[in-house]
Structure 1
Amino acid sequence: MSYFENYSYSRLYLDQSLEFFFILGVNDSDNFDEYWDGRTIEVVGYVSIYKNTNGEQENYIYLINQTNRDYESIIKHTKQFINQMSLATNPLDKENFKISQTNILGKLVEPPYTNFIKSVIKNDIPNIILKD
């Protein structure tokens, strides 16, 4: 099973209705020398925090489909991250998660980022939210 020491989150996109992050798995902290800290970082998924027209927050977690991956750990840490990032006043908004799998790898993403985000989120969020 693919194990990661911890997880990091890198924001790709932010506007008034949507935040989009990479979920990064980090491990191998003991394999280092004076020029390299030894950590390997791998994109394991994506997070989308969306505020709909009713003002409710919707949280989407997209996990990159790969065999022998500890999805439970990724989901647990990602939920904690979303709870810390959330500005929602309604506690239920922080617990509203939709989890799905994707085959889209985001190792190199170039502007405009909206095209990449649309390919990941598909129809989960209205297309009008992401303007080119």
Structure 2
Amino acid sequence: MRGPLAPAEVPISRTRAERFDELVRDEAHRLEQRWSRQLAGVEFAVEEVPAIEPNSLDADTVPLSRLIPAADGRPPRIVVYRRPVEARGGDDERDRARLVRDVVVEEVADLLGLSPESIDPTYDSPDD
């Protein structure tokens, strides 16, 4: 687990995982600009894969993300699972970026009790 995302740094060469972290960080930042009061204190994180019991889910039900509600003094946390998103998003970086956008928007909508379309009008649209 890499945990909460740190501020962006610009290395000479980035790994695939670092590029994914950047996609999630950029999407979180974009939504925080519009929903700053509601998202104050919310943590965004990337993990490689979800912790699931073997044989408990089939390939079509592997979660892409998870909302962990606030508890015991900890803020709410939105976790995006890199490998399932990359597997579903394919090799095209634009498709992967759209999927990350939609996944993060869905979790923020769930957190705020709103529809994804009200969180982001570009939700589920093929065009950026």
TM-score by length of 1: 0.34
Specify which structure has the higher proportion of helix.
Answer: 2
Specify which structure has the higher proportion of strand.
Answer: 1
Larger Rg: 1
Quick one: higher RCO (CA 8 Å, sep 6+), 1 or 2? 2
